[in-house]
């Protein structure tokens, strides 16, 4: 999707989605541990915006979500932005290059985004220096976090798609489906 | 046209990555009074009322999710509490017979001179947000500098030590929990004089490490670890002595120093209300904190009128 052709309604929908998800994440989801870890909706939203809207919008959304999270939680500014920018861009490129149609594609993208988020965060923290001893339990927490995120990936994909698709001007999948239901273009209807 | 799109896409990515790196480098390099930290505090000040409102509005949703989890764990907790209740009942019977002699000893040694928590002017605060990050064990509370909360103020709840204030805005503050990777608390095993430093084990929120205990220290499983009332570093906050931190779960004697694993007493997963010990100006603990910080950096300080004999009487710096 070209950046110059972005409709204002789509941008407004993304901004609303980002604000609601970030505040819902830190206000509710973070308070409810599942198997000792927390679901993290932020990387899922960034990845799914990229998957629907392309790499440029995915990267910009990732940067904005990261900045908002770092500001709201008083964390080191720039770390989350950097990681989420990469996630948003990468998922957008996946859509532009492969346009995955499989039903489980969002699940795999969500798992990959969650893994990149937690592992990337740990790497950056190691690079910045850690004074305290690091437990091997961290690995278990990372794996558990990714698995828990995998459970919510498909419902989250449905929410993001339902919210953003009406604001998108040109969706190849919708166009493709329409071609087979209008009668004239389907090879089956000609026979 | 295609080249233009590709160039624009790459330019946006490069711009955002560079911007993130600039932010990260500048934030990491500046002091807590720097520009970006000020922006962050300003943001916290602006969104604190929104966070507070959202927290109250979303509490039913949170409680609903929490109810499912609580129900799953209720049975195990009940069995554990029943065992604990039996143990406590036995201890109570034993303690009652020793109570009278203990009170006499207490009077004899003037233990009532110990500082109590009320001397630290506690401010009750509600937790409004919690970080989901494995590396940042932090919460945001709804009381800030307008309520007397300041940087490095200790934070406790009914179960024990919770953490300390690491950022303070006018109507909100960030509290780093004792499981945060940046924390270190001077502590001792209860009923001994052996002190060490309690640090978190990053990635394991249910485990702390009490390090640098003398090798000859006698430690038993189940003993309580409490704050020692001394500083672990010049920039640390002075936690009141005797605040419970956790219980010893295992002992490592392999190195020159003894270290023990400690299970935190405070349930950090389910913080709702905490107390910030604001150590208001003029209170003895705040003065001692200033004085010891000055001594550690080799500076001369008036320390608000605290004399060296008063410092010696507390045992700090020995």
Would the CB atoms of B201 and A81 count as touching at under 8 Å? no
Residue of B nearest to A24 (CA): B58
Q: A115: exposed, middle or buried (C-beta count within 10 Å: 0-12, 13-18, 19+)?
A: middle
DSSP state of B119: G
Under 8 Å between Cβ of A46 and A80: no
Residues of chain B with pLDDT under 50: 100-101, 104-105, 107-115, 280-287, 291-318
Provide the pairing of β-strand B185-189 with B195-201. Answer: antiparallel
What's the gap in Å between the CA of B260 and the closest CA on chain A?
Answer: 13
How is residue B36 written in tokens?
């970006």
What's the gap in Å between the CA of A144 and the closest CA on chain B?
Answer: 12
Determine the residue among B5, B135, B196 to mutate to test chain A binding: the one whose Cβ has the most chain A Cβ atoms within 10 Å.
B135
Half-sphere exposure of B98 (CA within 13 A, CB side): 8
Tallying the residues shown for chain B, one arrives at: 318
Residues of chain B contacting residue A146, judged by C-beta atoms under 8 Å apart: none
Longest CA–CA separation in chain B, Å:
91
Q: How far is CA B130 from the centre of its chain?
A: 14
Q: B26: exposed, middle or buried (C-beta count within 10 Å: 0-12, 13-18, 19+)?
A: middle
Tallying the residues shown for chain A, one arrives at: 191
What's the gap in Å between the CA of A72 and the closest CA on chain B?
Answer: 6
The confidence score (pLDDT) of residue B317 equals: 34
Q: How far apart are CA B279 and CA B106, in angstroms?
A: 26
Q: B13: exposed, middle or buried (C-beta count within 10 Å: 0-12, 13-18, 19+)?
A: buried
The confidence score (pLDDT) of residue A60 equals: 94
Residue of A nearest to B55 (CA): A27
The 3-state DSSP composition of chain A as helix, strand, coil percent (nearest 5) reads: 75, 0, 25
Using alpha carbons, select from B291, B245, B241, B8 the residue that is nearest to residue B119. B241
Tens digit of each residue's pLDDT, chain A (191 residues):
544 567 788 899 999 999 999 888 887 787 777 777 888 999 999 999 999 998 999 999 999 999 999 988 888 889 999 999 999 999 999 988 888 888 889 999 999 999 999 999 888 888 887 777 777 788 888 899 999 999 999 999 999 999 998 887 765 555 444 444 444 444 444 44
pTM of the shown model: 0.63
Residue of A nearest to B180 (CA): A132
Q: How far apart are CA B171 and CA B153, in angstroms?
A: 15
Sign of CA dihedral B157, B162, B166, B172: negative
The confidence score (pLDDT) of residue B299 equals: 42
Of B36, B47, B203, the CB nearest to A137: B203
ipTM for this model:
0.78
Q: Tell me the pLDDT tens digit for each residue of B190-208.
A: 877 788 889 888 777 788 9
What's the gap in Å between the CA of B80 and the closest CA on chain A?
Answer: 19
Using alpha carbons, select from B295, B173, B163 the residue that is nearest to residue B233. B295
Half-sphere exposure of B119 (CA within 13 A, CB side): 15
The confidence score (pLDDT) of residue A85 equals: 95
Sign of CA dihedral B70, B72, B75, B81: negative
Of A32, A38, A133, the CB nearest to B201: A133
């Amino acid at each position: 999707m070209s950046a110059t052709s972005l409709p204002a309604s789509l941008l407004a929908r993304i901004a609303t989605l980002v604000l609601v998800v970030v505040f819902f994440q830190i206000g509710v989801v973070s308070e409810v541990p599942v198997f000792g870890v927390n679901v993290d909706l932020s990387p899922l939203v960034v990845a799914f915006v990229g998957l629907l809207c392309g790499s440029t919008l995915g990267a910009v959304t990732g940067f904005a979500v990261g900045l908002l999270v770092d500001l709201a939680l008083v964390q080191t500014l720039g770390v989350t932005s950097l990681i989420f920018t990469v996630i948003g861009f990468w998922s957008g490129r996946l859509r532009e290059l492969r346009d995955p149609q499989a039903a489980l594609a969002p699940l795999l993208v969500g798992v990959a985004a969650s893994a990149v988020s937690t592992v990337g965060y740990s790497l950056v923290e190691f690079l910045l220096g850690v004074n305290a001893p690091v437990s091997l339990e961290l690995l278990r927490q990372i794996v558990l976090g990714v698995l828990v995120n995998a459970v919510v990936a498909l419902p989250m994909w449905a929410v993001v798609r339902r919210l953003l698709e009406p604001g998108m001007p040109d969706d190849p999948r919708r166009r493709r489906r329409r071609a087979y239901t209008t009668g004239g273009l389907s090879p089956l209807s000609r026979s | 046209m295609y080249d233009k799109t590709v160039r624009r896409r790459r330019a946006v990515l490069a711009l955002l990555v560079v911007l993130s790196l600039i932010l990260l480098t500048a934030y990491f390099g500046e002091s807590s009074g720097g520009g970006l930290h000020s922006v962050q505090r300003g943001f916290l000040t602006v969104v604190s009322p929104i966070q507070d409102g959202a927290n109250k509005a979303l509490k039913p949703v949170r409680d609903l999710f929490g109810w499912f989890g609580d129900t799953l764990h209720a049975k195990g907790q009940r069995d554990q509490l029943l065992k604990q209740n039996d143990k406590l009942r036995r201890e109570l019977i034993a303690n009652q017979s020793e109570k009278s002699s203990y009170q006499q000893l207490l009077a004899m040694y003037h233990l009532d001179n110990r500082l109590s928590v009320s001397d630290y002017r506690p401010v009750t605060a509600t937790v409004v947000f919690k970080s989901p990050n494995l590396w940042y064990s932090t919460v945001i509370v709804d009381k800030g500098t307008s309520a007397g909360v300041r940087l490095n103020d200790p934070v406790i709840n009914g179960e024990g030590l919770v953490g300390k204030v690491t950022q303070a805005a006018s109507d909100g503050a960030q509290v780093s929990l004792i499981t945060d990777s940046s924390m270190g608390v001077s502590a001792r095993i209860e009923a001994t004089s052996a002190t060490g430093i309690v640090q978190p084990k990053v990635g394991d929120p249910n485990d702390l490490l009490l390090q640098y205990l003398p090798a000859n220290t006698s430690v038993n499983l189940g003993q309580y670890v409490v704050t020692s009332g001394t500083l672990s570093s010049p920039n640390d906050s002075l936690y009141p002595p005797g605040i419970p931190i956790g219980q010893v779960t295992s002992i490592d004697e392999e190195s020159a120093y003894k270290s023990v694993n400690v299970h935190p007493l405070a349930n950090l997963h389910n913080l709702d209300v905490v107390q910030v010990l604001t150590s208001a100006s003029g209170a003895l603990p705040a003065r001692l904190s200033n004085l010891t910080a000055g001594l550690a950096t080799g500076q001369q300080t008036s320390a608000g009128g605290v004399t060296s004999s008063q410092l010696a009487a507390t045992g700090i710096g020995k």
